[in-house]
Amino acid sequence: MPYRVARSAAATEGAVMRTADVADWLDERRAAHRFEVERIPLAELDGWSFDGATGNLGHRSGRFFTVEGLRVTTSGGPRWHQPIIKQPEVGILGILVKDFGGVPHFLMQAKMEPGNRNLLQLSPTVQATRSNYTKAHKGADVKYIEYFTEPGRGRVLADSLQSEHGSWFLRKSNRNMLVEATGDVPVHDDFVWLTLGQIGTLLRRDNVVNMDARTVLSCAPLPDGDGLALHSDTELLSWFTTERSRHDVHAERVPLGGLPGWVRGEWSIERADGRYFGVVGVGVRAGSREVARWTQPLFEPKGLGVTAFLTRRIGGVPHLLAHARVEGGFADTVELGPTVQYTPGNYAHLTGPDRPPFLDLVLGADPRRVRYDTVHSEEGGRFLNAESRYLFVEADEVPLDPPPGYVWATPRQLTRLLRHNHYLNVQARTLLSCLTAGAVAL
């Protein structure tokens, strides 16, 4: 299968729809349904309320998710308090795959998410929490869910548990799946078959392919063939195990009410200094979703993020500089992330060595060294207008022996880790999806 997936990545035109027609098709799907999102005061969240004892924000059904407080302490590092989304159930992010003319195509969905700035983006075939596909919301059935929950409906190409945003979710994982369908697959109005290469072309455009699709696509099996890596796979795993072992991270759930440094107002819960993010409320109307109308809280970041892999050739082989990141919501202390993963505005008051490592190198990079630069939305179902600039930046000046917490690895070494659970964070997976789909070549 890896060579067939590579063939799909090389196919920038498909058997079902021309790449040039995808934008018009998305506009048609956007026009076919009513989509409205408006900010509302927190008190107008229907079915949601603040617990009288803890101040935690939850739904009357006891399902979906809660917004709670989190206290994080790290060994020899920072300590902080923050709101966190607690959603312990494991969702399914799944893409159906089927051959057309000998080329694998991927069944993508035009899906509305209330937090996306442009609302509708390409998503996986199935993007559903357990509450969704068990119909806790009493809505319509999730289309195609049977291919991912009923054994024997197709051939599994990839299946692993991967984390969501560790900064905003508490130990949240989704099952990332690619399943090759056997037999005919009915295609509903909001779905289309595209090659991996077509998706790669779309990944060069701002806010077209959503986060959930990107994380699944990063798991697609591709042939090995990077060449000789600076570190062997065993050495890379040993380094990563050392990083996990040397970090002592204690994340403790605490009441949201009275959370130190945070203020609850009529419209939001925010830090007193206005940095990082806030918790806001929205009312939603969506004609193509399982439920047509609802309200919910969303996390809203303060500014555009910058997420980048520094890259250089070592012995003629492309390598990426990965960072062992500590985030309060991770299930296991650290995960591998990109070289840079920050919102610059949060660090504007810092100078010199207090600045985040490599951030200024990325921000000041000569455009001739930038191999990829596109804005992508983060999780539109839980975050409002959360966007990041995703970049690959050539940086031959970074030494082969980088600072502690950083390591050079080949793209294939990192994608091989995605066969297992909780090695790479969701931002790293987005950038790897761009390589997998051919949106960028190093």
Q: What pTM does this model have?
A: 0.95
pLDDT at residue 137, as a whole number: 53
- 433 marked ligand binding residue: no
Res 288: pLDDT: 59
What is the reported pLDDT for 292?
A: 78
**Over residues 313-339, mean pLDDT:** 95
342 is in an annotated binding site: yes
| 264 in a labelled binding site | no
Domains 1-35+88-219 and 233-250+302-437 share a fold: yes
118 among the known binding-site residues?
no
Residue with tokens 């880790």: 417
pLDDT for the residue 134: 58
Is 131 labelled as part of a ligand binding site?
yes
Contact 284, 36 (CB under 8 A): yes
CA distances to 77, 323, 330, 336 from 241, in Å = 19, 13, 15, 11
163 in a known ligand binding site: no
Residue 189: burial class (beta carbons within 10 Å; 0-12, 13-18, 19+): exposed
Percent of residues, the chain, with pLDDT higher than 90: 86
Query: Is CATH 3.90.76.10 correct for 233-250+302-437?
Result: no
- pLDDT at position 338 is 98
351 is in an annotated binding site: no
Answer positive or negative: Cα dihedral of 433, 434, 439, 442.
negative
For the domain spanning 1-35+88-219, the CATH number is 3.90.79.40
Does 132 belong to an annotated binding site?
A: yes
Q: Is 381 annotated as a binding residue?
A: yes
- 372 annotated as ligand-binding: no
The answer to whether residue 94 scores a pLDDT higher than 90 is yes
Instruction: Supply 202's token pair.
Output: 């779309």
Alpha carbons 217 and 432: distance in angstroms, whole number: 9
pLDDT tens-digit series, residues 253-308: 999 999 999 999 999 999 999 999 999 999 998 765 556 789 999 999 999 999 99
Task: Return the number of other C-beta atoms located less than 10 Å from residue 290's C-beta.
Answer: 16
What average pLDDT does the segment 71-82 reach? Answer: 88
Helices (H), 320-410: 359-363
pLDDT in tens, 15-61: 999 999 999 999 999 999 888 999 999 999 999 999 999 999 999 98
| Residue 154, strand partner residues | 181
Neighbour-count burial of 87, counting CB atoms closer than 10 A to its CB (0-12 exposed, 13-18 middle, 19+ buried): buried
160 labelled ligand-binding: no
Q: What secondary structure letter does DSSP report for 110?
A: E
Q: How far apart are the first and last CA of the chain?
A: 23
46 annotated as ligand-binding: no
The annotation status of 176 as a binding-site residue, yes or no, is no
Q: Is 408 annotated as a binding residue?
A: no
238 is in an annotated binding site: no
pLDDT greater than 90 at residue 193:
yes
Q: Where are the beta strands (DSSP E) in 146-202?
A: 154-163, 173-181, 191-195
CA distances from 54 to 182, 255, 262, 394 (A): 50, 5, 14, 48
pLDDT of residue 139: 58
Coil vs helix vs strand at 27 = helix
**382 marked as part of a ligand binding site:** yes
* Domain segments of the chain as ranges: 1-35+88-219, 233-250+302-437
- Does 438 appear as a known binding residue? no
Using an 8 Å Cβ cutoff, are 66 and 253 in contact?
A: no
